Amino acid sequence: MTIFIGADHRGFELKNKLMEYLQEKNIRVEDMGNYTHDPVDNFPEFGKKVALAVSQQPSEFFGIAVCGAGIGMSVAANRVKGVRAGLCDSIKQVEHGRANDHMNVLCLASDYLTFDEARSLVDTFLSTPMKKDEKYIKRAAMLDE
């Protein structure tokens, strides 16, 4: 399993904590930036980097993109073919997005989540299988057309 993770300045601290948590679980994590806290950086750069990395093998790779509200990262990531990014703040949303919508990039809002909440969302994201029913596969393919 490979996870690509990126964040702007508002998500920087949460990204680093999540990276440490995932590495402690022996999960391969690739940091897509930002690598330093830069108060004037821009979320589209990091959302795009995560999405492009995931798009290389969208059914195998996972992405996590963090910014203040999570919305910007979701918008940026969803511009890349093969990426299905979702902003989630509840376990039920993550389960639905992963299983039904074949979400491969989890977007998180650092301004509204504690580390423990974000960790639970990430754990759910990584452990929820995608449904293999034809209708879910067809819908995911339609998004890429």
pLDDT of residue 141: 83
CA angle 132, 101, 74 (to 5 degrees): 150
Domains of the chain with CATH codes = 2-144 (3.40.1400.10)
Query: Per-residue pLDDT for 144 more than 80?
Result: no
pLDDT of residue 98: 96
pLDDT of residue 32: 98
* Confidence band for 140, pLDDT divided at 50, 70 and 90: confident
pTM passes above 0.75:
yes
* Confidence band for 142, pLDDT divided at 50, 70 and 90: confident
Candidates 14, 51, 67, 83; catalytic one: 67
pLDDT of residue 63: 98
Query: Per-residue pLDDT for 115 more than 90?
Result: yes
Instruction: Output b/e per residue, 115-142; b: 16+ Cβ within 10 A.
Output: eeebbebbebbbebebeeeeeeeeebee
Query: Per-residue pLDDT for 84 more than 80?
Result: yes
Q: Is 107 a catalytic residue?
A: no
More confidently predicted of 104 and 139: 104
pLDDT of residue 39: 97
